[in-house]
Amino acid sequence: MRYGIASFAIVVLIAGCAGRQSPIEITRLAGWGAYPPQAFIKVLPTPPLGPYVPIARLVVNGAAGLDRAQALTAMEQKARDLGANALILSEETRLPAPNLTFNPSGGSYSLAPEQSGAQVGGEAIHLGSANTQN
């Protein structure tokens, strides 16, 4: 009986940690790995007029309750880590969350308040020509 409860507690702990992540989908582009991590980043609504090197396409699939600001912050951090000094935002949607929840103590389902999460997409770029590594 002790081992059953301990095993159950470990499984619940692992599942709880895994459920809090906001996965970022990354698609590598031409400038992948060419630049060191950056301290600052510009967020652009449209592609810049000057030269730039595309590094990666990023999409943050937010969980229920993740708002636009949190999704954008996660995407900015990942873009800076990849060496981008600018981020072109290209898409944003609100994802509906399921509103049916399971009550383990009573073994029943209940309706939860309507929530939604944000999905934000963009392209991490490095402003300047391909041989500029600032």
* Segment 2-39, tens digit of pLDDT: 554 544 444 444 444 444 455 789 999 999 999 999 99
- Whether 72 maps to a domain, the answer reads yes
Strands 52-61 and 24-28, by their bridges, are antiparallel
Rounded distance, CA 98 to CA 120, Å?
A: 19
- Whether 7 maps to a domain, the answer reads no
Strands 52-61 and 116-127, by their bridges, are antiparallel
Q: What is the pTM of this model?
A: 0.65
Rounded distance, CA 41 to CA 76, Å?
A: 7
- Whether 34 maps to a domain, the answer reads yes
pLDDT of 69 higher than 90: no
- Whether 134 maps to a domain, the answer reads no
State how many domains the chain has. Answer: 1
Here the tokens at position 46 are: 């449209």
- Whether 118 maps to a domain, the answer reads yes
Task: Give residue 74's domain range.
Answer: 22-127
Rounded distance, CA 33 to CA 37, Å?
A: 10
- Whether 27 maps to a domain, the answer reads yes
